[in-house]
Amino acid sequence: MARPRALETVSRDALDAVLVILGPRLGDRLTTAMPVRDQHGRDASYLPAAPPDAVAYPRDADEVVFIVTTCHAHGVPVIPFGTGTSCEGHVAALRGGICLDMSQMDAVGQVSSADRTCRVEPGVTRKTLNAFLRDSGLFFPVDPGADASIGGMISTRASGTNAVRYGTMADHVVSLDVVLADGTLVRTSSLARKSAAGYNLTQLMVGAEGTLGVIVAATVRLHPIPEAVETALIAFPSSALAIECAIAIMGSGIPVARMEYLDDVQIRAVERYSKLGLSDGDTLIVECSGDPDSVARQMTWITEIASDFAPRNITTAQSPEDRSRIWKARHDAWWAAIALRPGAKGIPTDSCVPVSRLAEAVAAARKDCAELGVTAPICSHVGDGNFHLCVVFDPENDAEARRVDTLLERLSRRAIALGGTITGEHGIGYGKRAYLVEEHGLAGLQAMAAIKRALDPRNIMNPGKILEPGDALPFE
């Protein structure tokens, strides 16, 4: 299991100096109460928590500037916090410091129908945003499992089931307001749909996990709500056939809206948990959306393609109720996996490989699980090569934890060997730091570290996540 490195914690004097300055302005929006600190040092992962020394609840960008400027002057770490649903220990205060809980910065600004954009504060969650948009005819498609905050989703470059059609968070940020390490407020770009004006600060901040600055506002991209939606659930006799079918559907040029793969282990877990009456077997859920005629033709085409891959069963659904029943299989996957073993914990892995190598990667992962005796149902955003094992294990059992470590190591190394990445949508946090150099090489890590040193020379922005400035040799 990854453990936080022993980082030098911030001095008590520096902390006290910061708290004395912040206190009068923030009042009861600054707390050192242990339960609050504990809650803010922990995310959705199995990784050891590390509570911050205090938690602040800023209300606007000015307050963030004030807090960061103060922390910068005293060398005190700043850790932005959204909903605490990250998966790699992103919010652990490894060096102590001040956690910025952004939940009170949750305003949704004016929606521009012509530009299909909306300005939001970082604390708004994706479901709240979509509830706000309901009457506009537009929606925000990025859908990680949790009801995460937009700021957190930007920071981890999140995606989800809609990415195959609409793209990831990287494709949904037009412009950001970011407070940099020294308290400077930067707007990363204009509101134009495209630009060739200088370095892409927006995409540098997307996925930076709070290590380069604190996001205080975002203009995000929206899409028209499709008129019609149709979903198919198709069971296959093997993993290889299911994934080959998915590749064939993608290759046909049909603009699928969503396409998810659940392996037979996962399907059995879901059936046991939710009793949906699913056919046994490796399963694809494929969804099309758009105008009703196009959707109907695309669905016919998809079932025709699927028929070449020996499907055991094809179920299609148009009504919201029937479609919900199909999607319940996917949404329950995580809990169904955990429920396979009462009292167990789950680790969601996050390899992403070129689609052409996905069948190979999944087959090898299943072989590993069998060899190591580890239970780990598989779900995959098969359209973009991203697959999650839900590794079900008892962290108190050292021998089992070592076998899980071996599995995680193999998965990361194999993803890299197949031309892929160790993380498609969860990020590095501190849980995957050890593999970053293997994926990017020393030269890539050096370039990243040079950027970190340039923009955060005192290493106060969420230190210990993604990389440490000293991870790589100086670049000059």
If the CB atoms of residues 99 and 415 are measured against its own copies, the closer one turns out to be 415
Measured between its terminal Cα atoms, the distance across the chain in Å is 35
If the CB atoms of residues 274 and 380 are measured against its own copies, the closer one turns out to be 380
CB of 207 to its own copies, least distance (A): 6
The set of residues, in sequence order, having a beta carbon less than 8 Å from that of 13 and lying 6+ positions away, is: none
CB 212 within 8 A of CB 199: no
Residues 173 and 118: their CA atoms lie apart, in Å, by 10
Work out which of 195, 300, 307, 313 binds its own copies, going by CB under 8 A.
195
CB of 415 to its own copies, least distance (A): 8
Which pairing describes strands 223-224 and 345-348: parallel, antiparallel, or unpaired?
Answer: unpaired
Is 117 a binding residue for its own copies by CB under 8 A? The answer is: yes
If the CB atoms of residues 188 and 462 are measured against its own copies, the closer one turns out to be 188
Is 196 a binding residue for its own copies by CB under 8 A? The answer is: yes
Is 417 a binding residue for its own copies by CB under 8 A? The answer is: no
Is 184 a binding residue for its own copies by CB under 8 A? The answer is: yes
Is 159 a binding residue for its own copies by CB under 8 A? The answer is: yes
Q: Tell me, by CB under 8 A, how many residues bind its own copies.
A: 95
Please give the full DSSP string across 167-220, using - where no structure is assigned. Answer: --GGGSEEEEEEEETTS-EEE-S-SSS---SSS-HHHHHTT-TTSSEEEEEEEE
If the CB atoms of residues 180 and 215 are measured against its own copies, the closer one turns out to be 180
Work out which of 350, 407, 414, 460 binds its own copies, going by CB under 8 A.
350
Among candidate residues 25, 115, 134, 22, the one with its CA nearest the CA of residue 67: 22
Query: DSSP class of residue 436?
Result: H
If the CB atoms of residues 78 and 206 are measured against its own copies, the closer one turns out to be 206
Work out which of 304, 356, 405, 409 binds its own copies, going by CB under 8 A.
356
Is 193 a binding residue for its own copies by CB under 8 A? The answer is: yes
Among candidate residues 427, 425, 434, the one with its CA nearest the CA of residue 468: 434
If the CB atoms of residues 225 and 339 are measured against its own copies, the closer one turns out to be 225
**Which range, of 180-188, 231-239, 269-277, 372-380, touches its own copies by CB under 8 A?**
180-188
What distances in angstroms separate CA 109 from CA 135, 199, 262, 285, 471, one per listed residue? 15, 27, 38, 35, 40
Binding to its own copies, residues 287-306 (CB under 8 A): 291, 293-294, 297
Work out which of 111, 276, 372, 416 binds its own copies, going by CB under 8 A.
416
If the CB atoms of residues 235 and 448 are measured against its own copies, the closer one turns out to be 448
Is 422 a binding residue for its own copies by CB under 8 A? The answer is: yes
Is 439 a binding residue for its own copies by CB under 8 A? The answer is: yes
Is 375 a binding residue for its own copies by CB under 8 A? The answer is: no
**Which range, of 49-57, 234-242, 323-331, 418-426, touches its own copies by CB under 8 A?**
418-426
Is 228 a binding residue for its own copies by CB under 8 A? The answer is: no
Work out which of 24, 253, 342, 373 binds its own copies, going by CB under 8 A.
253
Work out which of 115, 322, 394, 400 binds its own copies, going by CB under 8 A.
115
CB of 115 to its own copies, least distance (A): 5
Among candidate residues 339, 345, 355, the one with its CA nearest the CA of residue 259: 355
**Which range, of 23-31, 61-69, 155-163, 322-330, touches its own copies by CB under 8 A?**
155-163
What distances in angstroms separate CA 251 from CA 282, 307, 316, one per listed residue? 20, 16, 21
Residues 385 and 437: their CA atoms lie apart, in Å, by 21
Q: How many CA atoms lie within 13 A of 5 on its CB side?
A: 14
If the CB atoms of residues 18 and 466 are measured against its own copies, the closer one turns out to be 466
Among candidate residues 431, 342, 331, the one with its CA nearest the CA of residue 392: 342
Among candidate residues 22, 25, 54, 23, the one with its CA nearest the CA of residue 37: 54
If the CB atoms of residues 52 and 82 are measured against its own copies, the closer one turns out to be 82
Residues 462 and 96: their CA atoms lie apart, in Å, by 10
**Which range, of 6-14, 98-106, 154-162, 310-318, touches its own copies by CB under 8 A?**
154-162
Residues 455 and 5: their CA atoms lie apart, in Å, by 23
Is 33 a binding residue for its own copies by CB under 8 A? The answer is: no
Residues 207 and 466: their CA atoms lie apart, in Å, by 10
Is 247 a binding residue for its own copies by CB under 8 A? The answer is: yes
| Range list of β-strands (E), 307-344 | 313-317
CB 390 within 8 A of CB 345: no
Is 392 a binding residue for its own copies by CB under 8 A? The answer is: no
Work out which of 206, 214, 284, 329 binds its own copies, going by CB under 8 A.
206
- Structure tokens, 248: 């064939």
